[in-house]
Structure 1
Amino acid sequence: MRKSLLVIAVAVLAASLSTQAQNTGNVRYKWHDGQGLMHFSDSLTAEAMKYGYELVNDRGLVVQRVPRQLTAAERAAAAKLAAEQAAQQRAAQERANADAQMLLAYPDEDSYRISLQQVLDTIDQQIHTSQINLRGQEKALTDLLGRAADLENAKSPVPKPLADSIAQQRNVVATLRDTLRRQQTLRSNTEQQQAAQLAHYREVRTAAQQQSAE
């Protein structure tokens, strides 16, 4: 019974305040607190800003809703999300600009394929140079090893300068082999990347053609 009377009293009070807002225009802010209870005020309070409020006109109609204040954690999360979205937008714009420049530089697929092949040709030239150098250094190492073998077969000790030269030449050969392997790996990876780049070029060019036709 008491609970019912309390509900009725609250309803009467709300109706009274609403009527007052319509008649006098004194009540301008309305909000619900943490327990869900409605409040009215003719000035903006800290509690209203905390929970969010509604701006009521002189006829008691809501003309604006203002959300509650965010907590420090929520503000940080919102700022992080905004930064991520801004970064995504920048990245999308940069991709769009790059695609536009690509179409300007290569208006057809043949011209784009030529540019890709030029990259491979440069790598192939580097590989060819490394192979020539490697063969020459391997021959030099073979000659040094042959001299050492001849001395050993003659039961003569291998001089230290010759042994040092063999060790040094082995390092040179090993370095060139590593360089050649890296260049060959680079070419393989470049071919894979170019396949993806060519597919992307076709997609961008098709989209541009469709847009021009519309």
Structure 2
Amino acid sequence: MRKPLLILAAVAMAASFAAFAQNTSSVRYKWYDGEGLVHYSDSLTAEAMKYGYDLVNDRGLVVRRVPRQLNAEERAAAAKVAEAEAAKQRAARELATAEAQMLDAYPDEEAYKISLQQTLDTFDQQIHTTRINLRSQEKALADLLARAAEIENAKKPVPKFLTDSVAAQRNVVTGLRATLQRQQALRAQTVQDQVKQLARYRELKAEQDKASQ
């Protein structure tokens, strides 16, 4: 009994190898060279790998396309494109999540407007504080300049410590003025952004209300 079984197994294995060989032999390689001329071969060549090739069956149909090999520069460029696309998709997912959270946090437009106004109130507080500090530092600078002017009017040399103090105080005032300008510009930009944000909120809210009907 064991011997006939071994014979049957051997026959089946031989048939499998024959079928595999037949299928393999029916596949050819087709590719176009650098001048656009078509080539066929029964084996994979370096030129085919260079330009990319098609696997063609015995009926002339393409069963698989294999792109050409990329050089190091092209691989780096492809990786960069893939990375940019992944970052774009990630940003889109994060935006969708943020917008969904916004709708959950602010069920109506009035609540959302209050949130926007709170942001502007924070800017206004910062600007108010900077203005107070600026006025104080400008007064200190004016006092130093007045002392230096008195000494000059008395035909005496201005002490170095006073000159240094004036210079340092000028820097403080200049820095605060720059800070105030940045805060005001940021607030103005925020107002513009909030107009767009409110419009987007209304769009999302309308879509949500429509979906719930």
CA distance in 2, matches of 1:164, 1:69: 71
Partner of 1:119: 119
Q: Secondary structure in 2 aligned to 1:107?
A: coil
Q: Secondary structure in 2 aligned to 1:148?
A: helix
Give me the CA root mean square deviation.
3.2
Shift, 1:125, TM fit: 0.8
AA in 1 matched with 2:65: P
Partner of 1:195: 195
Partner of 2:68: 70
Structure 1 alignment gaps of length 5 or more:
1-23
CA distance in 2, matches of 1:163, 1:152: 12
Partner of 2:103: 103
Q: Where do 1:43-192 residues align within 5 Å?
A: 45-46=43-44, 51-55=53-57, 65-72=63-70, 76=75, 82-192=82-192
CA distance in 2, matches of 1:159, 1:80: 62
Shift, 1:151, TM fit: 2.7
Q: 1:140 to 1:61 in 2, by over 3 A?
A: closer
Structure 2 alignment gaps of length 5 or more:
1-21
Q: Secondary structure in 2 aligned to 1:65?
A: strand
Cα offsets for 1:72-121 (capped at 9, x unmatched):
25x84766655444433322222211111111111111111111111111
Alignment TM-score, normalising by the size of structure 1 = 0.68
AA in 2 matched with 1:175: G
Cα offsets for 1:33-62 (capped at 9, x unmatched):
5455777x7xxx426985312446xxx696
Shift, 1:68, TM fit: 3.5
When the two structures are aligned, how many residues end up with a matched partner? 182
CA distance in 1, matches of 2:174, 2:81: 51
Say whether residues 1:29 and 2:27 are aligned partners.
Answer: yes
AA in 1 matched with 2:68: L
Q: 1:26 to 1:195 in 2, by over 3 A?
A: closer
AA in 2 matched with 1:72: L
